[in-house]
Amino acid sequence: MRTPADGDLGEAMNIISSRAGRASAPAAAPRTFAAFGIPQFGRLWSSGALFNLSRWGISFLAAFVANDLAHSPRLVQLTGVAMWSPMLLAGVAGGVVSDRLDRRRTLLAQYAVMIPMVVLLALLHGTGQLRLWMLYPFLVVAGLGFVLDMTTRRAILYDIVGAQRIDNAMALESLSMAGGLAFGALAGGAVVDAVGVSQAFWLVAVLLTVSCVLFLTIRVPARTAPPTGSARGAFREGFGMLRTQRALVSILGVTSCVNFFYFTYTPLVQVIGSDLGVRPALVGLLASMTGFGMMIASLTTARLRPNRRGLVYTAGALAALALLLPFAASGTYVLAVLCLLGAAVGGGFFGALQGVLVMTVVPAELRGRALGLLSMAIGVLPIGMLLLGEVAEAIGTRQALALSAGAGVLTLLLWVWRHPEVSRITSGDLG
What pLDDT is recorded for position 261?
A: 94
Find all residues with CB under 8 Å of 200, minimum gap 6, and list them: 57, 61, 187, 188, 191, 192
Indicate the pTM of the whole model.
0.67
For residues 200 and 192, is the Cβ–Cβ distance under 8 A? yes
pLDDT of residue 343: 93
Per-residue DSSP letters for 376-418?
HHHTTHHHHHHHHHHHHHHH-HHHHHHHHHHHHHHHHHHHHHH
Does residue 274 contact residue 310 with C-beta atoms inside 8 Å? no
Residue-level pLDDT at 24: 38
* CA separation for the pair 230, 248 (Å, rounded): 24
Classify each residue of 35-70 as buried b or exposed e, where b means 16 or more C-beta atoms within 10 Å of its C-beta: beebebbbbbbbbbbbbbbbbbbbbbbbbbbbbeee
Q: Is 366 exposed, middle or buried (0-12, 13-18, 19+ CB in 10 A)?
A: buried
List per-residue pLDDT tens for the chain, 431 residues long.
Answer: 343 444 443 443 343 334 433 333 334 444 778 888 887 888 888 898 898 888 888 888 888 888 888 878 788 888 888 887 777 665 555 555 555 566 778 788 889 988 999 999 999 998 888 888 888 988 988 888 777 777 778 778 877 877 677 777 877 887 887 788 777 777 777 888 888 888 989 999 999 999 999 988 888 766 555 555 544 555 565 566 677 778 888 899 999 999 999 988 887 887 888 788 878 788 888 888 888 888 888 888 877 777 788 899 999 999 999 999 999 888 889 999 999 999 999 998 898 788 778 877 777 667 667 777 777 787 788 888 889 988 988 898 899 999 999 999 999 999 999 999 888 877 655 44
Cβ–Cβ < 8 Å for 51, 178: no
Residue 9 has what pLDDT? 36
CA-CA distance, 48 to 36, in Å (whole number)?
A: 14
How distant, in Å, are the alpha carbons of 184, 360, 411 from that of 287? 9, 32, 25
Domains and CATH numbers, the chain: 35-218+230-425 (1.20.1250.20)
